[in-house]
Structure 1
Amino acid sequence: MANYINKYIYIVKIISGRTLSITVGLLLFVFAGFQANAQSQEQIQLANEYALKGDKKKALELYREVARDVDDVSLFYNNYINLLIDMQLGDEAQAFLKKLSKRDPQNIQYKLDLGLVYMRSGDMGKADKHFKELIAENKNNVQRVKVISDYFLSHTLPDYGILALTESRQAMANPYLFCLDLAMLYRIKGNQDKMVQEYLSYVTQSSANIQYVKNVLQALLTKPDELESLERLLYDKVQQYPDVEVYADLLIWVTMQQKNFYASFIQARAYDKRYKREGEKCMEVARVALDNDDYDNATKIYRYLIKEYPNSQNYLLARLGLIRTREERVKKTFPVKTDSVRMLINDYRTFIKQYPDNLNSLEAAKSEAMLYATYLDQKDSAIHLLNRLIANPKASQFLKAKAKLELGDIYMLKGEPWESTLLYSQVEKTQKENVVGYDAKLRNAKLSYYKGDFRLAQEHLDILKQATTREIANDALELGMRIKENIAFDSTGAALKDYASVELLLYQNKTDEALARIEKLKTGVSDSGQTISNRTILDDVYWLEANIRMQRGEFDKSLSLLQKIITEYGEDILADDAYFLQGEIYERQLHNREKAMEIYREFLTKYAGSVYAAEARKRYRQLRGDFNPTPPAQPQ
């Protein structure tokens, strides 16, 4: 008691700035208040403990007692209401909530909970009337309507949330209110069309919103028919509102999501003309088409840009893009012909000679160097070109870092891994938290893997799983899984070491030697002649050999090995890779259109969840001729 009195006297002293004369009666009154408050808190705590243990009867008795006159209902409010509902004491819950609402009419929580009590008590008509009246009373108050909508969302009542937002939108005569909130509610309801409409309304408010909307739609619209539905909607929007730029932008984006790059080009061409973009959007489509190995459309777009925009900043980029497209086609047409490689080198040299002071020529020099090293076995010429590029003061630090990575790769080709790791480590150090820095770490990890130092390789790979680029993260994850799976069955990693040494030989273009090692691995014999367990690595061995045979133009052998993976390892991770690669060989190497279509069609049935599913669907539709007709053009 003395402690409470002293505490109160201290507070009064602070307020008044002087010592006051306090009567014993006043002190006793104050203490009684403290004591009552402490007692109530003890009762609430005890009631909460009873409720937690499931002793509802004792908890209810205590809650009823403190509910009579306690001021801070927040300490027990939720538990008390939930307990009343659980024990089917709806009348008591209603009386308590009405009492609270009368005392604090501005607290909308009590009114919303009252409607919920009606609902949980089975009086749906009364609940419906109450909620609708509450919405009508507050529809002109945007902040309160948002609170009401969030309440309905948290209690899985999306229909009332939608009603609250749409009525407020009408009352405020603002069709752009609550777009994102309504989009979420429609998504929960499964009403995809209305969800998309809300996102489109949101994006028209500001072009700055467009990337957010693209990201959301990319995550939510994953099925082909969903993207097709959005495409049709956007065609209508573009026709109806030709001056709304974001609709045209989204239409180009959605056709690229479907990998229908011809349709993307048609729309991008009109977009660039309408909005005076000098081929900017067409360049974007061409880059994505090239990244997705659509060489025909990439070539078509780059040629269009060269012809239509000779005085723009995109002209040289298109010239260089056209050469790169030819390069990728040459590199993916097996076996790679050295005459074609020499023609590419000549194209790069011509470009550099014509535009010696342009920064794009530095990129061309890097590409030229790697063609010398990889396909013509002229490593010294490549090293000379890259060193000259690294020493060039006009080259950016980013480009120099990429050139150092390529130089490191060439030293790997020469069998000088110590030089490689030195260069990779330099880039790691100077390009931290940068995509090139992550790439350098991945190459260092692979170098450790090739040498059989799986522990060090795994340390690098574990870090790279968090890399910002999906491609690097996926490569790190794939290699890391291979190491873990094989070490789990063979702690010495004997088979994996032999497999890694084969990969190194392939990297160094020592194909015949690699194939000889593969034959030993398939029979369970190491390079040193010892018997090893190859059961965990055999599907990888088949996959590796299938790719070698394909690159050598031995397509029948490649197809046979891929079929072996599908037959013997149909449930394993490489099965869908093998099936898809069969389709690619028939389509792009053997030019057997019908057989490729058959494989892609079967692939979509067997591996609907594969990462290759979207590409297989696009290729099937392309071979069937779905993308040949010209889609409706955007108004110009």
Structure 2
Amino acid sequence: MKKNIAFLFLFFLCSFSFAQKNNFIIAENYFRNNEFKKAIQLYKELYKKSPYNTTYLKRLVTCYQETNQFSLVETLVTEKIKRFPKQTFLLVVLGHNYERQQLSDKANEYYQKALETIKSKRGYGSVTANLFKEYNKLDYAIEAYTTVMEQNPKANFGFQLAQIYGEKGDFGKMFESYVDLVDKNENFVNNVKRYANRYINEEPENENNILFKKALLRKSISNPKNIWNNLLAWLFIKQKQYQKALTQYKALIARDADHLSSVKELGKIAFDNLDNDTAKDCFNLVIEKTNYESDKFHAIYMNLIIDIANKEPELDNKFKSVLDQYGISRKTIYIQLAYADFLTFQRNNPEEAISVLEKALSLAGSKFAKASVKLKLGEVLVFTRKFNKALIYFSQVQTKFKNHQLAQEARFKVAQTSYFKSDFTWAKAQLKILKGSATQLIANDATELFLTISDNQPSDSIPTGLKEYAKADLLAYQNKNEEAISILSEVITNYKNQPIEDEALFKQAELYVKKEKFNEAISNFEKVLLLNPEGVLIDNSLYALAELYNTKLNNPKKASEYYQKIIFDHASSIYLVDARRKFRRLRGDDI
């Protein structure tokens, strides 16, 4: 009998709960559709059955206000306060009700009463502050949150305060709130970076960047912590001031060597952004301080790559010295790869490179190291025009590492090699797959080559110049730039007014830049601009001209003109962000 009664009670309880939930869903639908009169009836019933549910109360209040029944709100809330005098947050609801009636003095009277209850520790501080924020009474919300935190040092409403200051446009206070938040709990640092990132940019002299930096520096003086160096380094990296970021990391390393991983990452970022001096400083520090062999050899490898990029003298001897010092072994496998690349593409000595790589392949321990050696061997074989043998190595990697980045890289090399040997159909099939599935860098290269083939692929045995263009591309790959330029000249002459013309002009211009024949390069880029104002190479040419005037010819006025054309005429260009930043710098915005 008792079990039956218990079952019936449970059944009744579940039915009641289901009915409540269903009525609330219907009421919410009415509310969202602005059918407030219909919603009122349901919310009244819900609130009557659950008088402690503040959601029902707030919804009922809003419905009354939207139907101009302000006196009902006053009666409802006043009775609630009488029954539950400790729920002082309801004073804010009353104040807002008066404000809806444009009775500002009366509204402020109740807002002040609500604040007083927090100060006397009688009120629901955080609930009151949240209501002020919800009603857009931002100054009251700031005072409420601040009072709560003063009374309870463990309370942390930094995000709420920062958000409010941001809404008010007081970004200095906003950043101070974020910094205070981290000061209380360092676990919030990644969230703070994410939110701060919405307001700062790459410009060091941007007002928000300065305000954030000042907030960090003030806090680092008043309460020194490692986290301030971390955040300052993050800000400097955002601003592409990598040497300043390194200074912050050096300060951290002086206290704790575990921060060396950040220096390694900074070195990579600096290298990717062509700040080779800072990158080398980072890698030298890693070599000096690290206790891990893998990090040390990676840093040595990166320094050699930087030396190649900087065209440092005596590089042959430097490679040999490193390999003599540390040995030709598995530990130095990637240094051996860099040496083979240097021998092939800088010294035109692919035979010795192949010898180095064949030895490296016999030493490679992991499957990833073996794959890297095979990819490099394939590249050297392409350099020597041994295309079929190169394709074997690339295909082996592609088969072994399905869906891995190495496989995507190998597939691109298969496509590129097929293109070099004029097998355009197979190259295009490989590139089509890569366009959507590869990493961004490979996807961009794949898309570019795919478009080149698609736009110029011969049909009905009518030549389009693509074979000659691919031959020039191979010569450029082999660093035989004069020969490549000569063939491209023939393409430009023989296929005038055909789609291949602008591609040949652009490619030739890039080679002129490499050979520091800047006038010829400028002439070609300008021809591309005139040839087809709607062509896909227009923004590429504009950016190339801007960079040429900016970095090689010391003509900021002309550089600014071309950056500006990208900004105003090519808003969807991948160069837009860079063009805008460099244009502002040349204009003097960050002086």
Task: Settle same-fold status: TM greater than 0.5.
Answer: yes
Correspondences of 1:200-349 after superposition (within 5 Å)? 200-205=179-184, 210-222=189-201, 224=203, 225=206, 226-238=208-220, 240-241=221-222, 243-269=224-250, 271-273=252-254, 285-298=266-279, 320-330=301-311, 343-349=314-320
Q: Determine whether 1:84 maps to 2:64.
A: yes
Name 1:356's counterpart in structure 2: 327
Q: Determine whether 1:473 maps to 2:440.
A: yes
The 2-side partners of 1:143 and 1:381 are apart by: 81
The 2-side partners of 1:449 and 1:153 are apart by: 62
The secondary structure found in structure 2 opposite 1:612 is: helix
Shift of 1:257: 3.0
Q: Determine whether 1:390 maps to 2:361.
A: yes
Shift of 1:575: 4.9
Name 2:7's counterpart in structure 1: 14
- Whether contact under 8 Å (1:44, 1:66) holds in the other structure is no
The 2-side partners of 1:398 and 1:344 are apart by: 27
The 1-side partners of 2:22 and 2:211 are apart by: 60
The 1-side partners of 2:379 and 2:509 are apart by: 24
Name 1:542's counterpart in structure 2: 505
- Whether contact under 8 Å (2:564, 2:579) holds in the other structure is no
The 1-side partners of 2:111 and 2:415 are apart by: 61
Deviations 1:380-425 (A, max 9, x none): 43233223323325x5544433333323333433445555555445
Shift of 1:368: 0.6
Name 1:165's counterpart in structure 2: 145
Shift of 1:512: 5.7
Rate the CA distance shift 1:264–1:388 in 2: closer, same or farther, 3 A.
same
The secondary structure found in structure 1 opposite 2:516 is: coil
The secondary structure found in structure 2 opposite 1:220 is: coil
The 1-side partners of 2:446 and 2:354 are apart by: 29
Shift of 1:509: 4.7
- Whether contact under 8 Å (2:465, 2:491) holds in the other structure is no
Rate the CA distance shift 1:358–1:508 in 2: closer, same or farther, 3 A.
closer
Name 1:379's counterpart in structure 2: 350
The 2-side partners of 1:173 and 1:95 are apart by: 37
Shift of 1:217: 3.5
TM-score, normalised via structure 2 length: 0.74
Rate the CA distance shift 1:217–1:13 in 2: closer, same or farther, 3 A.
closer
The 1-side partners of 2:392 and 2:246 are apart by: 44
The 1-side partners of 2:415 and 2:97 are apart by: 61
Rate the CA distance shift 1:444–1:246 in 2: closer, same or farther, 3 A.
farther
The 2-side partners of 1:620 and 1:515 are apart by: 33
The 2-side partners of 1:61 and 1:244 are apart by: 54
Percentage of pairs with the same residue:
19
Shift of 1:263: 3.7
Correspondences of 1:562-601 after superposition (within 5 Å)? 562-565=525-528, 574-575=537-538, 577-585=540-548, 590=552, 592-593=553-554, 595=555, 597-601=556-560
Q: Determine whether 1:454 maps to 2:420.
A: no
- Whether contact under 8 Å (2:202, 2:240) holds in the other structure is no
Shift of 1:197: 2.0
- Aligned Cα RMSD in Å? 5.4
Deviations 1:17-73 (A, max 9, x none): 9xxxxxxxxxxxx99x9999999999988887877777766x378559857956598
Q: Determine whether 1:560 maps to 2:523.
A: yes
- Which of residues 610, 613, 616 in structure 1 aligns to 2:582? 616
Deviations 1:426-463 (A, max 9, x none): 54565567654554455456567773443542222212
Instruction: Give, as a single letter, the amino acid of the residue that structure 2 aligns with 1:92.
Output: L
The 2-side partners of 1:514 and 1:270 are apart by: 50
Name 1:551's counterpart in structure 2: 514
Name 1:528's counterpart in structure 2: none
Deviations 1:335-391 (A, max 9, x none): xxxxx68x3233112111111167663222110111222233433432332233233
Rate the CA distance shift 1:47–1:190 in 2: closer, same or farther, 3 A.
closer
Name 2:158's counterpart in structure 1: 179
- Whether contact under 8 Å (1:442, 1:476) holds in the other structure is no
Note the residue ranges of structure 1 that are not aligned, 5 or more in a row: 1-7, 18-29, 331-339, 465-471, 526-530, 627-636
The 1-side partners of 2:163 and 2:403 are apart by: 34
The 1-side partners of 2:243 and 2:31 are apart by: 65
Rate the CA distance shift 1:82–1:14 in 2: closer, same or farther, 3 A.
closer
Rate the CA distance shift 1:400–1:211 in 2: closer, same or farther, 3 A.
farther
Name 2:373's counterpart in structure 1: 403
Instruction: Give, as a single letter, the amino acid of the residue that structure 1 aligns with 2:443.
Output: A
Rate the CA distance shift 1:123–1:410 in 2: closer, same or farther, 3 A.
farther
Shift of 1:585: 3.8
- Which of residues 341, 345, 354 in structure 2 aligns to 1:370? 341
The secondary structure found in structure 2 opposite 1:461 is: helix
The secondary structure found in structure 2 opposite 1:401 is: helix
The answer to which structure, 1 or 2, has the higher relative contact order (CA under 8 A, 6+ apart) is: 1
Q: Determine whether 1:463 maps to 2:430.
A: no
Instruction: Give, as a single letter, the amino acid of the residue that structure 2 aligns with 1:327.
Output: I
The secondary structure found in structure 2 opposite 1:122 is: coil
Name 1:632's counterpart in structure 2: none
- Which of residues 168, 188, 196 in structure 1 aligns to 2:167? 188
Shift of 1:248: 2.7
The 2-side partners of 1:400 and 1:598 are apart by: 50
Rate the CA distance shift 1:359–1:602 in 2: closer, same or farther, 3 A.
farther
The 1-side partners of 2:26 and 2:48 are apart by: 17
- Whether contact under 8 Å (1:85, 1:121) holds in the other structure is no
The 2-side partners of 1:463 and 1:315 are apart by: 33
Shift of 1:517: 5.6
- Whether contact under 8 Å (1:203, 1:210) holds in the other structure is yes
Rate the CA distance shift 1:550–1:74 in 2: closer, same or farther, 3 A.
same
- Whether contact under 8 Å (1:524, 1:533) holds in the other structure is no
Rate the CA distance shift 1:166–1:325 in 2: closer, same or farther, 3 A.
same
Shift of 1:74: 9.2
Deviations 1:294-346 (A, max 9, x none): 3344456667888x86999787666554433221122xxxxxxxxx68x3233
- Whether contact under 8 Å (2:156, 2:184) holds in the other structure is no
- Whether contact under 8 Å (2:216, 2:228) holds in the other structure is yes
Instruction: Give, as a single letter, the amino acid of the residue that structure 1 aligns with 2:5.
Output: V
Shift of 1:221: 0.7
The secondary structure found in structure 1 opposite 2:310 is: helix
Instruction: Give, as a single letter, the amino acid of the residue that structure 2 aligns with 1:407.
Output: L
The secondary structure found in structure 2 opposite 1:611 is: helix
Instruction: Give, as a single letter, the amino acid of the residue that structure 2 aligns with 1:544.
Output: K
Rate the CA distance shift 1:203–1:66 in 2: closer, same or farther, 3 A.
closer
Instruction: Give, as a single letter, the amino acid of the residue that structure 2 aligns with 1:165.
Output: Y
Instruction: Give, as a single letter, the amino acid of the residue that structure 2 aligns with 1:386.
Output: L
The secondary structure found in structure 1 opposite 2:577 is: coil
Aligned residues: 572
